[in-house]
Amino acid sequence: MDINSPELMEYFLDFSVEVTGFSRFHLLGTGQSTLYLDTVRGVVGSEMLAELLQTFHDHGADAVLTSGKLGPIARNIMKLWYMATWEELPPEWREKFGTPVNDGTFIASPHAYPEGLVWSAVGVNPPGAKAPGYESWSYPPSVRLR
């Protein structure tokens, strides 16, 4: 796969839909797809990102997630979508495949936090962002615990 091809974003979105359980429409609606693609590329490099996406395209998400090389990156992509956070790759991974220059634990962008999928998944607004509105505290919560 050419690392500059328009297919890169398509493959990235296809992979993200599969591993997050959210639709392409929902993922695009967060406005974070380009940021997350650039974040992953900036940490692991274009070649490794292309390898992950090509493996997914050819063999499916299970092949990526069970790979010792690609699995930790794939799980970090999931964390990006859900929590807007890239976590430093595990020490075992770094020993075997090298230490990426930009690897470390960081939030991709302050604007990404309120768009995290975790908030939609649990049916709440992100604390400190996207306030539900005036006097909303006077209504019972919409989330029901069983």
pLDDT digits (tens, 9 = 90+) for 57-69: 999 999 999 999 9
- Residue 30 and residue 115 in contact, taking contact as beta carbons nearer than 8 Å: yes
pLDDT at residue 1 greater than cutoff 70: no
- Residue 77 and residue 40 in contact, taking contact as beta carbons nearer than 8 Å: yes
**Using 50, 70 and 90 to split pLDDT, how confident is the model at 145?**
low
Tell which residue, 45, 24, 46, has the closest CA to residue 33: 24
pLDDT at residue 83 greater than cutoff 90: yes
Which pLDDT value is given to residue 85? Answer: 96
Which pLDDT value is given to residue 131? Answer: 73
143, part of any domain = no
95, part of any domain = yes
128, part of any domain = yes
CA atoms within 13 A on the CB side of 81: 26
Which pLDDT value is given to residue 4? Answer: 66
24, part of any domain = yes
144, part of any domain = no
Domain count, the chain: 1
- Averaged pLDDT for residues 79-105: 94
2, part of any domain = no
pLDDT at residue 107 greater than cutoff 70: yes
Which pLDDT value is given to residue 119? Answer: 92
- Averaged pLDDT for residues 105-112: 94
131, part of any domain = yes
- The tokens describing 66, both together, are 């069970």
32, part of any domain = yes
Domain that holds residue 111: 7-138
